Chain A
Amino acid sequence: MDFTTPPYLTQNVSVRRVMLQVLAALVPAIAVYAWLLGPIILVQIGIASIACLLAEAAMLALLKKPLGLFLGDGSAIVTAWLIALSFPPLAPWWLIVVASLFAIVVAKHLYGGLGQNPFNPAMIAFAVCIVSFPALMAQWPPVAPIELHASYADRIGEQLALVLGSAPRIDAMSGATPLDALKTALKLGAGQVTVAATLADARSFGYVAGKGWEWVAASYLLGGLWLWQRKIISWHAPGGFIAGLALLAGALWLIDPTRFANPLFHLFSGGTMLGAFFIVTDPVSGCTTPRGKLIFGVAAGVLAYLIRVFGGYPDGVAFAVLLLNICVPLIDLYTQPPIFGMKSKR
């Protein structure tokens, strides 16, 4: 035997298996996304994956780390998918590439590579792009019921042309997210427009939130619950995130339902579900102790709500998560659980 330290048994687990399960949990949401909002998301996922893998390979070669071992761990692909899913699906291809490069090169490898990045790479990419290219980051496709278009195939062609830059960007093809639409309507209405009236617009809004988007959010929830059942993630961070966001939204909604949307709308809008189950659960940039995860989740949820409702950006999940990433060492330090036999002391 060529090893000398116990234990001589290991569970059948690996970083690669963990990452593959995270990817598997994203598949339902991607399927729903592609069906309801156009298959262009699959193209974007492809672009992001290739860009991330190439960037990862280049950095590994540069840093003289074993290429096969680290390329195969799946972490770059997870970052790529999260970037593609959080970006507007009609973003030009080069924007996705810039985001991928920034996430892998700067946010991940310049900080030491796998396991060392203090910030969530996908959220860094999102933040960099929304600050640098606000207009492009605000163009989302309208949820077009298929009957409005000539055919599904035509739509694919139109979207592809936009992404590849071969067609001019015209407003008819893109719009704001439901969250942004509500915020803009409320702002322009200056007290005249109520939330209920805006949400009643059946062209943009569905049962509880943005038309189509609410189903994507529900699929994220489904995938997240599966990850929790597989014990890949614990309930603390997502539970805290959802609770923090929903409680604040609920409190404000109870105070003034004409100005504030109900908590269900917020839970199924924007990046809430993606953030709750796939972003705040990132082990590397998140808290490690159970109480720490809970604090991280609640604080990120509250911040995300504040930024999306009172801030200047359409959604607040990315900035909330990045702000909390900064606090992780401090939270971890002060939430160390008492150990076996020393519980009464603390």
Chain B
Amino acid sequence: MLKQLFNFKGGVKPATNKASSQQAPIGIAPVPGRLVVPLHQSIGGTPHPLVAVGDTVGKGQRIGGADQWLSAAVHAPTSGTVTAIEEHVAAHPSGLPTLSVIIAADGRDEWSERQPVDTTQLAPERVREILRDAGVVGLGGAVFPSHAKLSAAKAVAMDELIINGAECEPYMTCDDFLMRERADDIVRGARVFRDLLEPKRVLIGIEDNKPEAIAAMRAAVEKLGEDFTVVGVPTRYPAGGAKQLIRALTGKEVPASKRSPEMGVQCFNVATAYSAWRALAHGEAVISRIVTLTGNVEQPRNWEARIGTPLADFVALGTPKPDTNGYLMGGPMMGFELPSLAAPLVKATNCIIAGSATLFPPPPPEMPCIRCAACAEACPHELQPFELYWFARARNFGKTQEYQIFDCIECGCCSYVCPSHIPLVHYFRFAKSEIWSREREKKQAEAAKSRFELRNERDEREQAEKAARLAKAAAAKADEKKALADQAARVAAVAAAAASAPPADAEASAVPDAQAGKQALIAAAIERARIQREAVQAKNTDGLNVAQRKEIATIEARRALLPTPSTAADAENAPTPSSQREER
């Protein structure tokens, strides 16, 4: 057992509302006929599609390959046929579409080839690659690619590995039920993480309002003969925030400017450990996850649902009550309202809450801040939210950074306790995005400036080179002239008075040669400049969406089919094409 728990400051205790979804065990959601699998489901690069329209895919087949290191693959959730690869509305507050693979299920639900591995026989590097290609990401909701978190810092010894089963958001019980029902595989997954990170100890933190989960995890740890410690932490939102749980279990405080391995600690969600174990020991890529369906529904419960299930199909499993007026994805503290139920279930979907006017009444009108500092007391990161609010409102973004706005984890405790009902988190998101966009603009301006300076430098260099070349050519010419003159003089001397070949002839033949060389040089320089100009100028063909790209492709194809004579006609209409080009 741990000697002591370290309290984190702040936090709030909203009604947990977890009981309703705790009545039934995890249900297996039916596989829908049509699945929408967004390619970008994790932090990092967007995976590139590995399949084409019309391809037959097997369950668990990789359909999106990880893009660079910080990215994770996505897979076909069932067997079937790819019917489209197109922009589809995503589970994101903006409701913006994202490139998705649409699969028509064949109903057989057949696995493609699975390759279980024995991690003890593999190099750590290989294990991380397998996790990446199996699409294992943080299933607590942050969807950070797990393989990228499985390297210890070089300079700091790894002290603790923390498995996060706190689940502090109200309503949510998906991790609770995973721990109750599948504790063994969570512990086995934690064992793999332990082997990769080699920490001194492994701590499993669970909020003490889940005694069944704590008991199940303790039993699993004992059964598997591990020395992991299962710790009940006091129930107080946001105890499940990685930084809060690390603080509670180890006393270490990870600031925004540091990554936790630099302080010798790393944290994974229980569902992540579970899916890592399934991926390694069973060869099962992440194609499903446990999702809590609760709130204003007739049958709240946890479901194991396929990634890509359209949310309209998913919420139908719970039979929403008639007065349902919206759906939240995630918990009520940090989740967001879904723009459309056409969006699919993704790896980040840990909970869907049907809302109603009684469950989530509209907030009372916003009043002015009375500086009561209740928000500062509730802030788990010990910030001064009301100061940040004043500065964000005044668009004084420099000051917001001085007051550490980027340490804000947007947990919502400040808004929760505010007597003036100020949507503080909203102001902070606004300030953060403004700062980011300004940084981007600054970077772009800097890049443009350096590009401009480089070009100036290059122009100067080229001019200098040209001048040197010309000087050299002139000198050569002078030398040549002199040589010719000398020769002529010699010839003249040899055939003294005899009127043989006049020296002027020799000179005349040399001059046109030099002129031709100069013209060739100028022509080459103009061509070079044109190529450079094209490279530097922004193209309007960058950053197009799929539909536009497709259109361009068809236009190009049409163009290729056209007969070439049109250029001749153009030439006729434009008598002096060369001068036109120069004007351009």
Chain B contact residues, majority secondary structure? loop
Bound-state CA distance A71–B339 (Å) is 37
A8 at the interface (CB under 8 A from B): yes
**Cross-interface CB contact of B381 among A4, A7, A73, A339, cutoff 8 Å:** A339
B360 contacts A13, C-beta separation under 8 Å: no
B93 at the interface (CB under 8 A from A): yes
A311 at the interface (CB under 8 A from B): no
> 8 closest pairs, A vs B, by CB?
A341-B255, A7-B412, A1-B326, A115-B368, A341-B253, A340-B381, A5-B426, A283-B372
Please, which residues of chain B bring their CB within 8 A of the CB of A114? 367-368, 370
List residues of B whose CB falls within 8 A of some A CB.
8-9, 12, 14, 93, 170, 243, 247, 253-256, 258, 325-326, 328, 332-337, 355, 360, 362-365, 367-374, 376, 380-384, 386-387, 403-404, 407, 410, 412, 415-421, 423, 425-426, 429
Chain B residue with Cβ nearest A18? B419
Please, which residues of chain B bring their CB within 8 A of the CB of A9? 14, 170, 332-333, 360, 416
B384 contacts A13, C-beta separation under 8 Å: no
Bound-state CA distance A210–B332 (Å) is 55
A338 contacts B362, C-beta separation under 8 Å: no
CB distance from A286 to the nearest CB of B (A): 8
B416 contacts A1, C-beta separation under 8 Å: no
Please, which residues of chain B bring their CB within 8 A of the CB of A341? 243, 253-256, 258, 381, 407
A3 and B362 contact, Cβ closer than 8 Å, known pairs A11-B12, A13-B418: yes
Please, which residues of chain A bring their CB within 8 A of the CB of B170? 9
A6 contacts B425, C-beta separation under 8 Å: yes
A132 at the interface (CB under 8 A from B): no
B255 contacts A1, C-beta separation under 8 Å: no
Q: List 6 A-B contacts (CB under 8 A).
A: A3-B337, A6-B425, A7-B425, A66-B365, A75-B370, A339-B404
Bound-state CA distance A283–B407 (Å) is 25
Q: Count residues on chain A whose CB falls below 8 Å from chain B CBs.
A: 38
CB distance from A228 to the nearest CB of B (A): 14
A69 at the interface (CB under 8 A from B): yes
Q: Which chain A residues in 76-134 approach chain B with CB under 8 Å?
A: 113-116
Most B-side CB within 10 Å, residue of A6, A115, A283, A288: A6
Bound-state CA distance A18–B383 (Å) is 23
A115 and B369 contact, Cβ closer than 8 Å, known pairs A8-B360, A15-B419, A341-B253: yes
B325 contacts A289, C-beta separation under 8 Å: no
Bound-state CA distance A45–B389 (Å) is 36
B419 contacts A342, C-beta separation under 8 Å: no
Bound-state CA distance A224–B255 (Å) is 37
Please, which residues of chain B bring their CB within 8 A of the CB of A339? 255, 381-383, 404, 407
A230 at the interface (CB under 8 A from B): no
Please, which residues of chain A bring their CB within 8 A of the CB of B256? 341
A166 at the interface (CB under 8 A from B): no
Chain A residue with Cβ nearest B332? A8
B243 contacts A113, C-beta separation under 8 Å: no
CB distance from B349 to the nearest CB of A (A): 16
Please, which residues of chain B bring their CB within 8 A of the CB of A113? 368
Q: Which chain A residues in 302-346 approach chain B with CB under 8 Å?
A: 336-343
B328 contacts A8, C-beta separation under 8 Å: yes
Q: Which chain A residues in 14-38 approach chain B with CB under 8 Å?
A: 14-15, 17-18
Bound-state CA distance A17–B419 (Å) is 8
A1 contacts B419, C-beta separation under 8 Å: no
A10 at the interface (CB under 8 A from B): yes
Please, which residues of chain B bring their CB within 8 A of the CB of A337? 382, 384
B421 contacts A10, C-beta separation under 8 Å: yes
A284 at the interface (CB under 8 A from B): yes
A2 at the interface (CB under 8 A from B): yes
B370 contacts A115, C-beta separation under 8 Å: yes
Please, which residues of chain A bring their CB within 8 A of the CB of B383? 339-340
B333 contacts A340, C-beta separation under 8 Å: no
CB distance from A72 to the nearest CB of B (A): 10
Please, which residues of chain B bring their CB within 8 A of the CB of A336? 384, 403
Please, which residues of chain B bring their CB within 8 A of the CB of A4? 93, 336-337
**Cross-interface CB contact of A69 among B325, B326, B367, cutoff 8 Å:** B367
Please, which residues of chain B bring their CB within 8 A of the CB of A288? 371, 373, 376, 384, 386-387
- Supplied contacts A5-B426, A8-B360, A115-B371, 14 more A-B pairs, CB within 8 Å: A2-B362, A9-B333, A9-B416, A10-B415, A13-B418, A113-B368, A115-B367, A115-B370, A283-B370, A337-B384, A340-B8, A340-B382, A341-B254, A342-B253
Bound-state CA distance A3–B416 (Å) is 15
Please, which residues of chain B bring their CB within 8 A of the CB of A7? 332-334, 412, 415-416, 425
B360 contacts A1, C-beta separation under 8 Å: yes
Most B-side CB within 10 Å, residue of A10, A15, A343: A10
Please, which residues of chain A bring their CB within 8 A of the CB of B372? 18, 283
**Cross-interface CB contact of B243 among A3, A69, A340, cutoff 8 Å:** A340
Bound-state CA distance A14–B366 (Å) is 10
CB distance from B400 to the nearest CB of A (A): 13
Bound-state CA distance A341–B380 (Å) is 11
A8 contacts B335, C-beta separation under 8 Å: yes
Please, which residues of chain A bring their CB within 8 A of the CB of B360? 1, 8-9
Please, which residues of chain A bring their CB within 8 A of the CB of B412? 6-7
B364 contacts A1, C-beta separation under 8 Å: no
Bound-state CA distance A9–B376 (Å) is 18
Please, which residues of chain B bring their CB within 8 A of the CB of A11? 12, 14, 416-417
Bound-state CA distance A114–B420 (Å) is 11
A14 and B404 contact, Cβ closer than 8 Å, known pairs A9-B170, A114-B370: no
CB distance from B257 to the nearest CB of A (A): 8
Please, which residues of chain B bring their CB within 8 A of the CB of A5? 423, 425-426, 429
Please, which residues of chain A bring their CB within 8 A of the CB of B374? 13
A73 and B367 contact, Cβ closer than 8 Å, known pairs A6-B336, A340-B253: yes
A3 and B363 contact, Cβ closer than 8 Å, known pairs A10-B416, A13-B419, A340-B255: yes
Chain A residue with Cβ nearest B355? A1
Most B-side CB within 10 Å, residue of A7, A66, A114, A115: A7
Chain A residue with Cβ nearest B252? A341
Chain B residue with Cβ nearest A73? B367
Please, which residues of chain B bring their CB within 8 A of the CB of A115? 367-371, 420
Bound-state CA distance A17–B417 (Å) is 13
CB distance from B377 to the nearest CB of A (A): 8
Bound-state CA distance A338–B255 (Å) is 11
